[in-house]
Structure 1
Amino acid sequence: MALQYGAYTACLSDRSIPQMLDTLKGLGLTSVEVNSGGFIPAPHLPVDSLLASEAARADYLALYEDRGMTLTALNCNGNPLSPNASDGPKHAHDVRTSIELAGLLGVKNVITMSGLPGADAAATLPTWVVNAWHGQDQEILAYQWPVAVRFWKEIDRVARDNDVRVALELHPRNLVFNTTTFQRLIEETGATNIGVEMDTSHLMWQQMDVPTVIRALGDRVYIAAAKDVALFDGVRTKGVLDVDFVPVPADAAGKVPVGYQHWCAQWPDDPAWRFVAVGVGHDVDYWVEVLTALQEVNPDCAINIEHEDAAMSTMEGLTLAAQTLLAAAARVDGTDG
């Protein structure tokens, strides 16, 4: 068994499936993670045709096999617990559909987020409790957790029936966003097929120790995302809970959708932190520590680069990330000469 290195292909959405695969292969990567729904479209996964046709699935997988590549995950990050009618039902449907399709394709991992309900049964928007010191926050959490437990018990059963594992990204603005909230979900659901996608970036900006979290979660770490973060001077006065983002107009070109009629806000001019290419925020030595911890808990874990560095072009970011990750991998494997 050996760790696998690849990329999440959302950043290559302008390329066809063969072009996307050739790009990753040219960078020395072999693992591929494609979008299957949720917040963003699925340009590299024709979901409906693959669900409908065994021949289509065989042809699709042959594109990977012919290049020595492996489809290691379907990604349908979204908010399946949202009380917003335009988000919650669609994202929950996408999770179920992704699990079914992953089972048919023989793909082991479906990546998503735990989701976030509203503050109560009448809510129309999600509510994230950041610091639960107030009694009202305790009331919100007392409503939200049973909602999440009911949903994830069902999804765990669906995943088990399809021989698929569901990996939750520990993402802020979700009910499950750190070690203890994930452990609570497993304890209250008794889930057997729910684990974690170890996205390093969201732990980094919360100032968590990534290798320590990996070891704490152990064999529940199903797959990982290599994604980097850098802290900036804004953190001195704002801390890591930076809310100085700016709304993006509906007619703006290039806006990033996160659901019907909603899209990502613009980063502050003076951010506390920002996503950067792997290797910009943390050097090879750091990634050696991360890969070592992943190898300990999951020796055949796939680690897929996620490029979201707005200061670099897609190929600049992917190239630097691949170089950094593979250099760390060579040291972990003892092949760096």
Structure 2
Amino acid sequence: MKLGVFAVLFGQKPLEEALDYIAEKGLEAVEIGTGGYPGNAHCKPEELLADESKLKAFKHAFDSRGLTISALSCHGNPLHPQKAIAKQFHDDFIRTLELAEKLEVPVVNGFSGCPGDHEDAKYPNWPVAPWPNDFQEILDWQWTNKVIPYWTETGKFASDRGVKIALELHGGFSVHTPGTLLRLREAAGEVIGANLDPSHMWWQGIDPVQAVQILGRENAIHHFHAKDTSIDPINVNKHGITDMQSYSLMLDRAWQFRTVGYGHDMKTWADIISALRLVGYDYVVSIEHEDGLMSVNEGFTKAVENLQQILIKEPLGDMWWV
């Protein structure tokens, strides 16, 4: 496995300065934002696709520092019921797939998106209960008419270019659990997999080790994010796991994102890393920093230090004791 980072947290730095800092920390891989919610501070796909010299210079910035690009990330909602919004997210994602082919980056990360509840809806509708039955009808309509058709078509576009799509299992979107990811994968093909982030499993009450096992047995983990979550034992009983309060209200929230090791101990993280190795995932563990109690530098540095202790890097050898 290689240790990497989702570089959008260094968006205030020029690309080469950010890459110098990442390389100095001993990392081997970088995940780059190309649009959608995380933005494209370090990578403008439209510019790189239009200019071969800029494309080569961009790639050289990584190669010259011994860094690989683990994934291009374009997290948006291409299923948004407002067509202009959906088109922007879709266009950004398609350009990202085209750029991944040019750069020989094997994975593009994103969100599945969430449609509205009918053709003329204005806002997304995320059903979270099976009753009243209206919610089941909405869910069936969304998957039949929007989710499966869109990702079947987009998956073929990616597959034709030798690129895999890794959807992040995230609340608020149609694909948010191992089960919903596998449902889409069965319909749209194996080009669709997970960008598995334990932090979003924990707040939904899902054990990340089991999520790794469920998805890994189907070879459905295309990328992995390293981010933690802490659950407040009192506030969760007040607000529930679908706490709608702003992330900034940390004292009263049911749960909050933390840097690796500050929501769950390192034995838990070692179990996750071991589970990844067990199911054959030997790609990048990409640090994502969204800890409201730590600066970018401190949160990132602590995540690096903690993960370096437990990451399994060397190839498997023979079981000499068998």
Per the normalisation by structure 1, the TM-score is: 0.89
Amino acid in structure 2 at the alignment position of 1:187: E
Q: Deviations over 1:167-205 (max 9, x none)?
A: 00000001111011111112222x131100011110011
Task: Give the corresponding residue for 2:81.
Answer: 83
Q: 1:267, CA displacement in angstroms?
A: 3.4
Q: How do residues 268-287 of structure 1 correspond to structure 2 at under 5 angstroms?
A: 269-287=251-269
Tell me how far apart the structure 1 counterparts of residues 164 and 121 of structure 2 sit (CA, whole Å): 31
Task: Give the corresponding residue for 2:16.
Answer: 18
Q: 1:105, CA displacement in angstroms?
A: 0.5
**Residue 262 (structure 2) pairs with residue 291 (structure 1):** no
Q: How do residues 212-231 of structure 1 correspond to structure 2 at under 5 angstroms?
A: 212-218=210-216, 219-231=219-231
Task: Give the corresponding residue for 1:168.
Answer: 167
Task: Give the corresponding residue for 1:301.
Answer: 283
Correspondence for 1:56 among 35, 46, 54? 54
Describe the SS at the equivalent of 2:222: strand
Tell me how far apart the structure 1 counterparts of residues 82 and 311 of structure 2 sit (CA, whole Å): 42
Tell me how far apart the structure 2 counterparts of residues 72 and 177 of structure 1 sit (CA, whole Å): 22
Q: Deviations over 1:199-239 (max 9, x none)?
A: 11100111211111111112110110000101113112222
Query: Which runs of structure 1 show a deviation greater than 6 angstroms over 4 or more consecutive aligned residues?
Result: 331-334
RMSD: 1.7
Q: 1:56, CA displacement in angstroms?
A: 2.0
Describe the SS at the equivalent of 1:87: helix
Is this contact kept in 2: 1:76–1:95, CA < 8 A?
yes
Amino acid in structure 2 at the alignment position of 1:188: A
Task: Give the corresponding residue for 1:253.
Answer: none
**Residue 319 (structure 2) pairs with residue 320 (structure 1):** no
Is this contact kept in 1: 2:29–2:69, CA < 8 A?
yes
Q: 1:33, CA displacement in angstroms?
A: 0.3
Which stretch of the first structure deviates more once superposed, 34-43 or 221-230? Answer: 34-43
Describe the SS at the equivalent of 1:274: strand
Describe the SS at the equivalent of 1:175: coil
Tell me how far apart the structure 1 counterparts of residues 82 and 249 of structure 2 sit (CA, whole Å): 24
Which stretch of the first structure deviates more once superposed, 110-119 or 78-87? Answer: 78-87
Tell me how far apart the structure 2 counterparts of residues 172 and 95 of structure 1 sit (CA, whole Å): 20
- CA gap 1:330/1:94 in 2 versus in 1, 3 angstroms: same
**Residue 162 (structure 2) pairs with residue 179 (structure 1):** no
Describe the SS at the equivalent of 2:57: helix
Describe the SS at the equivalent of 2:311: helix
Q: Deviations over 1:129-153 (max 9, x none)?
A: 0112221001101210021111001
Task: Give the corresponding residue for 1:43.
Answer: 41
Structure 2 unaligned runs (5+)? Answer: 317-322
Is this contact kept in 2: 1:221–1:297, CA < 8 A?
no
Is this contact kept in 2: 1:288–1:331, CA < 8 A?
no
Amino acid in structure 2 at the alignment position of 1:74: L
Q: Deviations over 1:287-335 (max 9, x none)?
A: 111111112224431110000111111000000000111111169989x
Structure 1 unaligned runs (5+)? Answer: 246-264
Amino acid in structure 2 at the alignment position of 1:153: T
Q: 1:40, CA displacement in angstroms?
A: 3.2
Amino acid in structure 2 at the alignment position of 1:167: A
Which stretch of the first structure deviates more once superposed, 153-162 or 292-301? Answer: 292-301
Q: 1:71, CA displacement in angstroms?
A: 0.6
Tell me how far apart the structure 1 counterparts of residues 138 and 58 of structure 2 sit (CA, whole Å): 45
Amino acid in structure 1 at the alignment position of 2:67: M
Task: Give the corresponding residue for 1:159.
Answer: 158
Tell me how far apart the structure 1 counterparts of residues 314 and 69 of structure 2 sit (CA, whole Å): 23
Tell me how far apart the structure 2 counterparts of residues 119 and 164 of structure 1 sit (CA, whole Å): 31
Task: Give the corresponding residue for 2:320.
Answer: none
Describe the SS at the equivalent of 1:34: strand
- Give the percent of matched residue pairs that are identical in Structure 1 and Structure 2: 33
Matched positions, count:
312
